[in-house]
Chains A and B, each alone.
Chain A
Amino acid sequence: MSIVSFISGGLLLTGGIVLIIGSIGLVRFPDFFTRLHAASVVDTLGVMLMIAGLIPLAGFSLATLKLFLILVFVLLTSPTAGHALAKAALHGHLKPELDTQEKGQA
């Protein structure tokens, strides 16, 4: 096992674990804003790790440039979409579930 495939394998595995953790958070967290937080883990860290894991496999070619562009665009659009979502949800009267509020009124 060469050092390149070792590095890329490690990054891909870590990325996969991050993806699964993030999406579990997307399902398990109690309200929209915390779910947004979990999804942002997938959108940023997961994508970064995965693409970083693929770049060593691509070597130095056009594919590397495309991977890099994918990374840039996802990192540009996903947080913006998250921001727009959070803003819209807040103005759409979706209240964050706060710790100070009483529990057990469900």
Chain B
Amino acid sequence: MLTAALVAIMVSMLIALWRALAGPSVYDRLLAVNTFGTITVLFIAVYGFFTERPDFLDIALVYALINFTGTIAVLKFFEYGDMGYGRETETGEVES
């Protein structure tokens, strides 16, 4: 059953890769990359159980935590053209 799950995961990886390669706009590619990351998390987790080495879950956990940062970075870069942006909007609507 784990084998079937692995095959399904790999098929969906391939399909998501297609969108990342084809994607007409940057957002399409980014969406595909994000989804690909999520599927990779699943791949690593399932493979860990497939080979009965739950050490692999640490790697999946890293991806689950860090994948987000890459997406946000790409979005931010695409909106401003650079990474750093001032903080005039940091006026305390959340902080206070």
- Considering only CB atoms, which chain B residue lies closest to A66 in the complex? B57
Q: Do most interface residues of chain B lie in helix, strand or loop, or is the interface mixed?
A: helix
- Pairwise interchain contact B45-A12, C-beta atoms closer than 8 A: no
Residue count of chain B within 8 Å CB distance of chain A: 44
> Contacts A23-B12, A66-B57, A92-B78 given: A13-B1 contact, CB under 8 Å?
yes
- Pairwise interchain contact B5-A70, C-beta atoms closer than 8 A: no
Q: Do most interface residues of chain A lie in helix, strand or loop, or is the interface mixed?
A: helix
- Pairwise interchain contact A70-B15, C-beta atoms closer than 8 A: no
Q: Least Cβ distance of A59 to chain B in Å?
A: 10
- Considering only CB atoms, which chain A residue lies closest to B48 in the complex? A63
Using an 8 Å CB-CB cutoff, how does the interface string of A1-42 with B read, 1 for contact, 0 for none?
Answer: 000010011001101110110111011000010011001001
